[in-house]
Amino acid sequence: MLSWYFEIWRTISRCSFAKMNPLATLSIVLGAGFSSGLNVYATVATLGLLQRFGVVHLPEGLRVLSHPLVLGIAGVLYVLEFLADKFPYVDSVWQAVHTFIRPPAAALLAFSAAGSASEPWRWGAALLAGGIALTSHGTKASARAAANLSPEPLSNWALSFGEDILAVWLTWFATAHPRVAIVVVAALVVVSLFLLYHLFYFLRRTLRKFAET
């Protein structure tokens, strides 16, 4: 009896969540791009779990994210990042290394998500997502560098939890509310650029003061 109900639920899920239209795909490209810049492992795990439990049917190229092996690796790497970014010096190294991981990973996700489009559009989506991921990653890394200058750990921990929550929420939101998510990501990019500009000058002034003492 339980298996019968499960089959009905799966059938309803397939009917409720049809193939993603171009707008929904664009939402994933933008949303996953921004959230990958914050935490690419949380982004991959969230997309994979949404697909695996039938909450949404991802584009064909992203359905592999629901494979247990991919979910397991993403989960382990997320735990490592969760632990690493709680310690200032380890966090600084981690952010520097992930400058070469998060944007390319976001570009790969976007390229896979746009699998039904022509090659120029797929490459355009990859470049767009990579640029957005670089923006969010740059803002995150700069904010962490500023927080790491403080001896107390609470600011760094608060940033860590906030970034993870935003990454998971935005990934889900991009699949659930595509139109609104596109606007939200655009606003987040503008805010990130504003913060990045001011954080850059804050760090430069702080380092100059350290050099003068």
pLDDT, tens digit (0-9, with 9 covering 90-100), for 156-168: 889 999 999 999 9
**Considering only CA atoms, which of 37, 16, 11, 24 is closest in space to residue 144?**
37
54 and 17 in contact (C-beta within 8 Å)?
Answer: yes
Range in 90-94, 183-187, 204-208 the model is least confident about: 204-208
Better-scored residue on pLDDT, 145 or 134: 134
Domain segments of the chain: what residues? Answer: 22-212
pTM over 0.75? The answer is yes
What span, in angstroms and rounded, lies between the C-alpha atoms of 49 and 23?
21
Percent of the chain with pLDDT over 70: 87
What span, in angstroms and rounded, lies between the C-alpha atoms of 32 and 65?
13
What span, in angstroms and rounded, lies between the C-alpha atoms of 126 and 108?
6
pLDDT score for 18 = 42
pLDDT, tens digit (0-9, with 9 covering 90-100), for 58-114: 999 999 999 999 999 999 999 999 999 888 889 989 999 999 999 999 999 999 999
